[in-house]
Amino acid sequence: MEVRVGPDTEDTFDDTFWDGLHCVVNALDNIQARLYVDSRCVWFGKPLLESGTLGTKANVQVILPKLTQSYGDSQDPPEESIPLCTVKHFPNAIEHTIEWAREAFEQMFVETPREGNSFLGDPTSYLQKLSTTGSGTSQLQRLKSIKHIIEKRTGPFDAFVEYAVFEFQEKFHDSIVQLLYTFPLEHVTAEGTKFWSGPKRPPAPIKFDANDDLHLDFVVAAANLYAATLKAPENRDRAMLKSLAAKVKIEDFKPKEMKIKADDKDTTAEGCMDDDEAVRRLSTEMSQKLKTLQVKADLQPAEFEKDDDSNFHIHFIAAAANLRARNYKIPEADFHKVKMTAGKIIPAIATTTAMATGLVSAELLKVVNYGERKVEDFKNAFVTLALPLWVFSEPLPPVKTVSKEHDPIVMGPVKARPEGFTSWDKVECNLGDATLQEFLDFLTDEVQVEVMIMSSGNACLYNAYVPAHKKRLKEKITSLWETITKQTLSPKKSYLTLEVSASDLDDGVDVVIPTVKFQFR
């Protein structure tokens, strides 16, 4: 089957399908899909064999209904990400400039055309939204980019080359001059230490030179990517582009009084005061101009594709990353390294895959009769073939919800009913097509709780604190669901999943209960 598993395909992979399974085996490459499959296995009470490989590393996790944790019960520690300020102003490693270049690609060739289309489609609405997002400086940059792309959309290619040279100037010269204006080389911090030291490498601006291969690489890539967003034909004639670029007149840059964050803990709002005023003027100018122009919103945002070496994507990122590295005197990277890093490619190998298959297959043999087995028989595995290292361990028991004296979220005591229930548990309600009141009475009898809030997915079906909800009590839950979600219940569906917040009948303490399966058919 060529159907992606997810919430949209629950008509294909319906209850009958899931109920009929003995076991599910994951062979996925992303966490989102894994979490979805895991949630289905938990709901339908099915064993799941989860595994993944990364280079010579592999892991296998066995998930058994009621006996073990589910995949979603634990999280990998977050990946080491690059701090914002490091990428934006203070890189000291090539990985930082590659990330910066990747973001520049997104901003120039994905977001700008997208926003351009948004503006062209409904200029008033766009300008209104713009004025509420980000600083005046960032708004000004975005608006200028949109103005430029609209004005230059008919070419000729000279205009795209000019654009590329201006971008070069802005990124590798002007913004560096601005940074050094705000934080001069001799700048000293409040503590008396040199600002430009340690992880903050002092940058130097680069003036555009069409004779420099790396400068030209950037211009060729940027100009062509720009042309692509405008659906204009490409131009790979390097000699011609070089002569066009050399002719572009570059203005002198005067730095402004600009506020820049010194590090991620700095609470300074970035931007320049003059820019707020400039944005307002530009907005007015653009909305007036547009009244006379007949422009279709058909700009073409790029879709990052790492594998096609002819599309200029990696070429752009490599040139940009290396130019910025030159600004900061960081050793440059070759095309291959940029592709692997920017494309987040982790080479996979047959040996790890084969080894993991062996382990998963062994666990599958145990799953066949898991009801007759002990949890200790099953083995989760963490392997790194490079070292080599094998670590097998027993799957952990499911996370239990227990009553607490003090829960930090509720700021008070919370009871769990039943005590120590897990995500594998549910409250089964077989009242048929009952009313809300009948359901509340059911919970009062079965679980000794008073329902305070009841929801299905994102829809709140009942809130005891809202007086107006009292009239919902005599309605059927199914019709209530249809009214509030504005959807019709598929004839295939025989139950609703409900989340209930409740309080104890006797002492009013908050009570958490498992998810409710409301079987109405």
Partner 1 sequence: METMGKLMQMKVLISGLRGLGVEVAKNLILAGPAQVILHDEAPAELRDLGANFYLTQEDDPFDPSRAEACRAQLAELNPYVAVELHRGPITEQLVQQVSLMVLTETPQSELVRLNKLCRSAPNPVGFIAADCLGLASFVFVDYGDAFMCHDKDGEEPRSAIVSGVTLESPGTVHTHQDRRHGFQDGDSVVFKEVQGMTQLNDGKPRQIKVTGPYSFTIDEDTSKYSAYISDGIVTQTKVPHHIPFFSYEQSLAQPRHPGEEMHVPDMAKFGRSEQLHFAVQAVLAYREKHGELPAVRDAAAAKECVDLAKQINEARKKGGNPQLFVEELEEEIVTKVAMFARCMICPMAAFLGGVVAQEVVKFTGKFSPIHQFLYFDMFELCPATEPDWKPKGCRYDDQIAILGSSFQEALANMKLFLVGAGALGCEFLKSFAMMGVGCAGKITVTDMDRIEISNLNRQSLWICRSTGSRLGYLRSVPTLSPS
Give the residue from 256, 246, 154, 155 showing the smallest Cα distance to 207.
Answer: 246
Q: How far is the CB of 20 from partner 1 (least distance, A)?
A: 6
Amino acid letter for position 288: Q
Residues in CB range of 319: below 8 A, 6 or more apart:
101, 214, 217, 218, 221
143 and 136 in contact (C-beta within 8 Å)? Answer: no
Q: Which is nearer to partner 1, 47 or 398 (CB)?
A: 47
How many of the other CB atoms lie within 10 Å of CB of 32?
9
83 and 264 in contact (C-beta within 8 Å)? Answer: yes
CA distance linking residue 36 with residue 72, whole number of Å: 9
Q: Write the DSSP string, 30-54.
A: -HHHHHHHHHHHHHHT--EEEEEEE
Residue tagged active-site, from 85, 272, 429, 460 = 85
Instruction: Summarize as ranges the residues that interact with partner 1 (CB under 8 A).
Output: 1-5, 17, 20-29, 33, 37, 51-53, 55-56, 83, 92-93, 194, 197-199, 307, 345, 348-362, 364-366, 368-369, 376-379, 384-388, 390-394
Q: Which is nearer to partner 1, 377 or 419 (CB)?
A: 377
Please give the radius of gyration of the chain, using alpha carbons only, rounded to the nearest integer: 30
Q: How far is the CB of 283 from partner 1 (least distance, A)?
A: 39
Give the residue from 233, 243, 38, 277 showing the smallest Cα distance to 140.
Answer: 277
Q: Which is nearer to partner 1, 334 or 507 (CB)?
A: 334
Q: Report the Cα 336 to chain-centroid distance in Å.
A: 25
CA distance linking residue 135 with residue 138, whole number of Å: 5
Q: How far is the CB of 39 from partner 1 (least distance, A)?
A: 13
Q: Which is nearer to partner 1, 8 or 506 (CB)?
A: 8
Residue written as token pair 């100037």: 169
Q: How far is the CB of 371 from partner 1 (least distance, A)?
A: 12
Long-range contacts of 463-472 (CB under 8 A, 24+ apart): 472/436
CA distance linking residue 353 with residue 359, whole number of Å: 10
Residue written as token pair 């009475």: 441
CA distance linking residue 21 with residue 24, whole number of Å: 7
421 and 400 in contact (C-beta within 8 Å)? Answer: yes
Q: Which is nearer to partner 1, 31 or 452 (CB)?
A: 31
CA distance linking residue 332 with residue 318, whole number of Å: 9
Q: How far is the CB of 4 from partner 1 (least distance, A)?
A: 4
Q: Which is nearer to partner 1, 339 or 417 (CB)?
A: 339
Q: Which is nearer to partner 1, 253 or 382 (CB)?
A: 382
Q: How far is the CB of 238 from partner 1 (least distance, A)?
A: 27
CA distance linking residue 230 with residue 33, whole number of Å: 35
Residues in CB range of 515: below 8 A, 6 or more apart:
426, 427, 497, 498, 499
Instruction: Give the sign of the dihedral formed by CA 25, CA 28, CA 31, CA 32.
Output: negative
Query: What's the burial of 317, exposed, middle or buried (CB within 10 Å: 0-12/13-18/19+)?
Result: buried
Q: How far is the CB of 341 from partner 1 (least distance, A)?
A: 10
Q: Which is nearer to partner 1, 390 or 419 (CB)?
A: 390
Q: Which is nearer to partner 1, 90 or 157 (CB)?
A: 90
23 a catalytic residue: no
Give the residue from 52, 48, 54 showing the smallest Cα distance to 71.
Answer: 48
Q: How far is the CB of 76 from partner 1 (least distance, A)?
A: 18
Q: Write the DSSP string, 163-205.
A: HHHHHHHIIIIIHHHHHHHHS-TT-B-TTSSBSSSTT-PPP--
Q: How far is the CB of 79 from partner 1 (least distance, A)?
A: 14
Residues in CB range of 14: below 8 A, 6 or more apart:
492
Q: How far is the CB of 16 from partner 1 (least distance, A)?
A: 12
Q: Which is nearer to partner 1, 34 or 472 (CB)?
A: 34
- So which residues are the catalytic ones? 85
